[in-house]
A and B are shown apart, each in its own frame.
Chain A
């Protein structure tokens, strides 16, 4: 009763959760373009897309990906043999246990009418599969907690996955072990299954089981007479053998049985097997009910992501389907951290303390954001910063074992953030190059907006500078600024300048305009001059600073050895640091 009630509760939560989760794939949006597409439109597009794909030659691609990437886990294999072994052990072992053991009534019994869980090979296989899962979990704990891989983050969800699986496995082994020694279980079995009916036979059979099957009886203890054992064996062969192999085959549980056998009688009296049985099932039910909400959900979303990405691409696929896929991909992530370990800017995390630099953490934040679970302005800005600190190098997409197209995800999500009006001053850095390469995917207004916002922020932070009619605000004379620059490795030569303007004449940016001061605010030599005088505000809001190419023409031309370009870089660093500190 207790069993079936909890099973049905767990099952209903699981099914409802599944529907709810899948519905979010069609309801939530990633990226500005997706907002215009209605849920119903996305649903129809998905159904149509699936049908069309299945009826096309692409089905072969899907099959191939299913075998190689889903079943064989090719991507993890290429990445790391250790992790592949870990994943295969856990996923292989668990799946086999699920099919053979948890679904024995539906699957195993149908395939093998003589099946009994206590009979070989099933008895042995169950232990073997359980051991596989345990070994896999062991590798996972070793990798995450002992190997100490830098920038491999663990979160509560990772711990939950390991713990719930470990509880299921360990309780299973303990349950089996205590059942081996349990006299109560033995008696129930004899009552239910045997036709032994006289006292003497009972005794003989029990002696045989105590001797050979590890049962601990409160009344009988070896050594037994050979005669009694022989009689017991005959009875065993008649009544029990068809369903029972020797428990030694379940080598883990048998070890447990041996260890607990001195306490077996009291354990049995205290009803420990029943308690373990409840624990085992409850853990399974909790795992089941919570599955759609936990990262275990990748069992479903991961393969879907692999399959979808194998047949979809940005240019040809229906935007409605891409919108759906991108939300689904958030559920597919296993938080394995591979992407972060291979990330081209991952090491930056040691310098700029923002975990959103790491793609695996970035994705987790984006997922929370998409589900509207991030409200704080501060957190939003941190995610945005992490999204901008990315060179679009493609490494993460290449290595992701569930095939998430992280490239497109970052691009779309970044647009959502930076167009929603939080200024990002990193947009004034070379990191914008990659965004520029995809500008044809955006309309010009959306494309320019974050850039304007960033320049505006610089102007606002460091005094307004909009047109010729407003008198130029000279900013504060700032001596700490000069000191900063003098100590920075690059900046200290500015005091040699005698304002010959050679640098400005050599500068291709200054030369590009008829009236450089008007177009750029300051020219290179004016920036050097303003540095010497101590007018950071004036420099920080000048367009020249943010359009400097770093081409070193000015620096090479300077007769005084002023490291003009290096000074400009140092100034950019300072301006960005000041804005980031303030906002």
Chain B
């Protein structure tokens, strides 16, 4: 099973650990990732400016994958939604397709529409399968309470991105559960992380983020868990800035799903980049157990 991977633009500088942890986990599961060098941005940040620019950017990647007969997989919700939206528009609107193809033809590309857009979570769920995953789990989390943040763009708009019952992503829950972590219900779960307005209206962005982290913490979560590059940067890097700007000391660290799964697959925490998180997440390994009872040491900074 090979996929062309769309890595989100924020990862090379601000979230290297998403790349390394995804690579490590998928290697362990025998899923091949093809990095197409010519890939560009999915176009998500351009949506505000020019829809066509967004579609053009997405379409180019889809064409590049199509040429190699690969489906595109992404670990970022925003890339996922963008690529699917572009695919949808190209399929639905002949004039957009003609226009885009005219531009892509200059570099010998043509959009046919055979490439599918897949999310990492959904590949793990459908293609690898929960049973197969369970077999590979060598260590389980004990007593670890996780607030799963689905992220808007695997939930909505549902005609485009839904891979589960409307309004939820049980797939994500089930995947977290196989690591042994306990999922807690929380009220603000379905809301946006705040990332889309970071840089435009930071106060608003911080309000939204804080609302979520506070709610999750009050609901008993030890960590947030996300499967989107933007969400993680928001909950990790931006939350850290938020804590210092708003003079708060209690945040709620967030862990990437690939890091969580990677730990339970027995992958070395260095490869997963656990120590690269801005808000210390190293304490999470204390919840891991083979047999012995878990040590409750959330928030401790000992590695």
A interface, CB within 8 angstroms of B: 149-150, 341-348, 350-352, 389, 391-395, 398, 407, 426-437, 439-440, 451, 488-490, 508-509, 512, 543, 546-553, 555-556, 563, 565-566, 569-570, 572-573, 576-577
Contact = CB atoms under 8 A, between A and B. Distances in A.
A342 B156 CA distance: 31
Contacts of B48: 428-431, 569, 572-573, 576
A303 to B, nearest CB: 25
20 contacts: A150-B107, A345-B46, A345-B57, A348-B56, A350-B56, A351-B52, A351-B53, A391-B41, A433-B10, A435-B199, A436-B205, A440-B241, A489-B89, A489-B92, A489-B96, A549-B192, A550-B47, A553-B156, A556-B167, A569-B47
B103 A394 contact: no
Given A551-B156, A552-B152, A553-B156, A352 B53 contact: yes
Contact of A565 (B50, B106, B157, B201): B157
Contact of B10 (A350, A434, A489): A434
Contacts of A552: 152-153, 155-157
Contacts of A547: 197, 200-201, 204
Contacts of A344: 9, 40-41
Contacts of B56: 347-348, 350-351
A374 B72 CA distance: 43
B37 interface: yes
B41 A351 contact: no
Closest 8 CB pairs of A and B: A436-B199, A432-B199, A552-B156, A429-B48, A393-B9, A551-B192, A391-B9, A394-B12
Contacts of B45: 391, 429-431, 433
A341 B93 CA distance: 29
Q: How large is the interface on B (under 10, 10 to 19, 20 to 34, 35 or more residues)?
A: 35 or more
A149 B103 CA distance: 14
B200 to A, nearest CB: 5
Given A150-B107, A556-B156, A572-B48, A433 B41 contact: no
B191 to A, nearest CB: 5
B207 interface: yes
Nearest to A435: B199
B240 to A, nearest CB: 10
Interface in B168-199: 190-192, 194-199
B87 to A, nearest CB: 13
Contacts of B197: 509, 547, 549
A509 B12 CA distance: 30
B93 A350 contact: no
Given A391-B9, A436-B198, 20 more contacts: A149-B107, A345-B57, A350-B56, A350-B103, A351-B56, A393-B13, A394-B13, A429-B45, A430-B48, A433-B198, A433-B199, A451-B201, A489-B96, A512-B211, A552-B152, A553-B191, A556-B156, A556-B167, A569-B51, A576-B49
Contacts of A393: 9-10, 12-13, 41
A256 to B, nearest CB: 40
A52 to B, nearest CB: 28
Given A434-B10, A547-B204, A508 B51 contact: no
A490 B12 CA distance: 32
B207 A549 contact: no
Nearest to A580: B49
Interface string B142-165: 000000000011011110000000
A395 B128 CA distance: 31
A342 B10 CA distance: 16
B4 to A, nearest CB: 15
A508 B202 CA distance: 15
Nearest to A394: B12
Contacts of A342: 37-38
Contact of A430 (B13, B190, B196, B241): B196
B156 A576 contact: no
A350 B106 contact: yes
A347 B199 CA distance: 24
Contacts of B205: 436
A570 B47 CA distance: 9
Nearest to B37: A342
B5 interface: no
B223 interface: no
Contact of B49 (A391, A490, A512, A573): A573
B134 interface: no
A508 B191 contact: yes
A391 B211 CA distance: 27
A551 B41 contact: no
Nearest to A447: B202
B44 interface: yes
B214 interface: no
Given A440-B241, A489-B89, A551-B191, A573 B51 contact: yes
B84 interface: no
A431 B14 CA distance: 15
A569 B237 CA distance: 27
B211 to A, nearest CB: 8
Contacts of B92: 489
A563 to B, nearest CB: 8
A342 B196 CA distance: 25
B233 interface: yes
A572 B197 CA distance: 14
A439 to B, nearest CB: 7
B152 A551 contact: yes
Nearest to B237: A437
A392 B41 contact: no
B213 to A, nearest CB: 14
Nearest to A393: B9
B282 interface: no
A489 B46 contact: no
B208 interface: yes
B9 A549 contact: no
Nearest to B95: A489
